[in-house]
Amino acid sequence: MFPASDDQSDVSGFAVRRGGSGLADLRRNSRPAAYAEGPTKAPVGESLGRLPGAETQGTNATDPNPMLKGMVSPRKTNPLTADGCLFCLRADGGFVSREHIFSEAFGNVDEKVLPPGVVCDRCNNGPLALADEELVNFPPISLLRAERGIPTKAGKPVESKWGNAKVRFPEHGTLELVEPSRAVRRAMGPPGRLTGPHKLQLKAGFRLTEDRVSRMVRSIWKSGLECVYLDHGAEAAFHQIFSGVRTAIVDCDAEGWAVLPSESNPVDDVSLSYEFRNVGGRPAMPLRLSVFGVIFYTDLFCVATW
C-alpha cells in the first residue's frame, strides 16, 4: 500500500499554465483522474499489516459529527462500497457529487477528482468545503491564484484581499492594487499599477486564529486521505488505521499542526507527497502540500487518536 522504504513517496498533483482563458488549462503530470479511470486497486501493504490491530475496516457506520446532521442531499445514490462515505462512514448523506482532491479554485477541474459514491454530499458540501475554502483564501495562495489567471466559477478575475490593499492582475505581468493604503500607494507611484520587478509590502487583514489553522490543516489531511484512495484504492483508504484521522477531518474542534517555510519560490503546479512510516510503534504519514509554491508540512496521524 505504502512505499516500503523511507526514501520513496507517493506524489499526486497537476500543473497550471499561466494566462489561460476561462478555467486554466491543465497539463497532466501524474496518474489519470480517478473520475475517468477509477481508483487504482491495491491490497493493504505489508507496512500497514505489521501494526497492531490492522484488520480490514468493518462496515458498521458511526454517528456523524453533529455539524453534519440535517444536511442530506435531496437526491440519493448509493456509495461505491459497503463502508459508506470515506469520512463519516455513513450511507445516508447522498452521493451525487464528485469530490475534488485539490480545490477546483486551484484549477483542478477534472485532473484529480474522486467519482460520486466515495464522499457523501453531506461531508463534501459541509465541513470539507469549509476547510477547502480556508486554504483557498489564505492570502499568499489567493495572490498566486490571481497572478496565474485562475478565475472564479463565475469567470471573474480573482481579487486577493490583504489588510492594506486588494490585489488583482488585469493582464499577465501587470499587478493592480484596489483601495491601497497610503503607505502602499506612495511605494507604487502613479498610476497605481506595477509592471516588471518590484517589491511590495502586503499585510494580512486578519488574525491567523486556531480555528483558521485548524480548517487549513484539515483540508490538507482531507487531500492526503483522498490521495491514498486515488493511489491505492478503497481497501487501503477505508482501513481502520485511518479511523481517528477521518473523524478529525470533519471535526471542527480537531487539533493538529502544520509548518510553513518563511520563504519559498513560486511554481506553476499543485502537488502533495506522502509516505507511510512506523515511528516508535506508532504510525506516521508525513504530508507535503505545495500550492503554487506555498508549502505546508504536516502529519496525517498528528491528531491525538493513539
The predicted structure's pLDDT at residue 252: 83
**Residue 29 in domain:** no
Domain count, the chain: 1
- Cβ contacts of 153 within 8 Å, gap of 6 or more: 104
pLDDT value for 231: 94
Identity at 82, one-letter amino acid code: A
pLDDT, tens digit (0-9, with 9 covering 90-100), for 247-284: 999 988 888 889 999 888 899 899 999 999 988 888 89
- Residue 3 domain-assigned? no
10 Å Cβ neighbour count for 81? Answer: 17
Q: Flag whether pLDDT at 193 surpasses 50.
A: yes
pLDDT higher at 151 or 79: 79
Q: Is residue 81 part of a domain?
A: yes
Q: Tell me the mean pLDDT in the region 30-50.
A: 30
pLDDT for res 190: 57
Most distant CA pair in the chain, distance: 67
| Per-residue pLDDT at 91 | 94
**107 falls within a domain:** yes
What are the φ/ψ torsions at residue 277 (nearest 5 degrees)?
A: -135, 160
Q: What is the pLDDT of residue 262?
A: 86
3-state SS string for 87-123: CCCCCCCCCCCCEECCCHHHCCCCCCEECCCCCCHHH
Regarding pTM above 0.75, the answer is no
For residue 73, what pLDDT is reported? Answer: 42
Enclosing domain of residue 62: 34-137+208-299
Residue 278 lies in a domain: yes
Question: Each residue of 96-142: pLDDT tens digit?
Answer: 999 999 999 999 988 899 999 999 999 999 999 999 999 999 989 99
pLDDT band, residue 197 (cuts 50/70/90): low
Do the domain assignments include residue 270? yes
Note whether residue 241 is domain-resident: yes
Q: Has residue 306 been placed in a domain?
A: no
- Please provide the average confidence, as pLDDT, over all residues in the chain: 74
